[in-house]
Structure 1
Amino acid sequence: MRDSILLLMSMPRDIMVVLPLTDATDSIATSNVDALMNNDIPPVIPLTNAPETPQVGSENTIFGFPSCPEDLKPINGMIFSNLEDGIDFYNKYAKVCGFIPRLDSTKLVNGIVTHKRCVCNKEGKSKNKGTKRKRTVTRSGCEAKVSFKRIDTGEYQIYDFVEVHTHAMVTPATMVHMKPSRNLNLFHKKMIMDNSRVNHGPVDSFRMFKEYKKAMSPSFYFNFDVDDEKRLSKVFWADPISIKNYALFGEAVSFDATYNFNEYKMVFCPFTGVDNHKRCVTFAGGLLRKEDGESFTWLFENFVKAMGDCYPTTIITDQCKGIN
């Protein structure tokens, strides 16, 4: 027994072997020792957490099953009142799992859809058209899919659902940048159309989308007023960062209303200050059609209201009579 243990301890560390169990508890079979010396026993293969599942197709290797709550997972035999509801259900499932679905084949009988299949966007193989331009590989032969068929009641039933994918899933943090999350709603489309009438293109419109923070941040403050002809005459706004800047560096406020008129005949009136690094910071901004006492009073009152009724210690401005 002692000699056998010493023999095992003297073997190279890179030989990882498996010894079959024997009934004896105080000795090691001589045949096992001979097998070790002759390297007849194959090395140990490390175990993984992946379940032993058969491969999908003849060439693809299984990557894994997507993580999804059971109530959102399609099941063979599941019935939907119409095909649109079934496709929408699969789209929601794909968004939770982290992949992008794509509509595939359709079978029609007398103009009625009897069979419909949705696949992963990485289904199939990318075709090399002989171009020299390097393209990102978007298809990897994934066979995940769901197939619907029309039953006698006019409803649609899932009859072929393949869950496993051959690629990594998209993380929730990056899913917002994928194609399904980049659709424009009716409000965005209307805004782009309206902005195009005043010579503002899609780029300017998307920059404006970023400024609509009221719905996302209750701290965003804005107000406006119109004249007797229902035309915009006064505008004031202050975002949360500007309000925070005022709370930190609002002892002295610089107010200047001498900026040139824009194409809408309104003058820009910024409230600015200086931080502890001697850099200019913005507290708020406004647009006025008239530079009179009434307009400036309206602007200053909204500024104080936006800052939580906290008055500045010092205001630096010019000799404008309306401001005075």
Structure 2
Amino acid sequence: MEENNVVDELANCGWKPKLGMPFDSEQAAYDFYNTYGGKVGFSIRKAYAHKNKQTKETTSRTFVCYKEGTRGIDKRDPLVKFSRQEVRCGCGARFSIRKISTIQAIEVELASESGIPLKAAYELFDRESGGRASLGFTKLDQKNYLRSKRQKDLEYRETGSVLQYFHKKILENPSFYYAVHLDYEELISNIFWADTQMIMDYAQFGDVVTFDITYKLNNEHRLFGTFVGFNHHQETVIFSAALMYDKTTESFTWLF
């Protein structure tokens, strides 16, 4: 009963192993499963590992219970009074992780930046490698890698600062408007905003509007788009602005 209570507690705290969990390194995965095993009541050890034949990078690793497998027959002198204690009893508990190689990571990123859907890209990698067994990673691994990369691209200190600034502007003037676009993983993809002056200019001169994305805002080449027009002095005025993660149809549909 105590063991079940511990398992429930770990699950509620997010410590229960589940399919698709991302880790920063093999050691991080080992520490996680070792902690879980210690809480539940078993020890672990490293078992099987697979490496890429060309790059020699470890592409997968399996951790097993310390009691996994069975030992061979004790061939020591039969007259020995105390034989070696048997600790392996065939426990089937195991935890496997996979890693996308450096070359594969570049290909995954290029496919994503080119707008190729995740499923189509994975099928392409599958054919190029000669089968999923040779590929070495799953579609879920591909999805997790892109998600992790996006989280690093949109770190909290950057996105959080922008949102804090927007909240401050709304407190100063309720007419300030902004909106954020979340993807299917609830991560911020695109941001749109317009201050009071922009809104007033649009009300007066918004008969003709042009959308421009020729500017690049940062080293990551994220799209900075502006909705612009002309005032009665033929001067360029900005009606609103947007910071976009990519050029996908979904992003533009949301923005417009």
Q: TM-score, normalised by structure 1?
A: 0.27
Structure richer in helix, relative to its length: 2
Question: Scaled by the length of structure 2, what TM-score is found?
Answer: 0.34
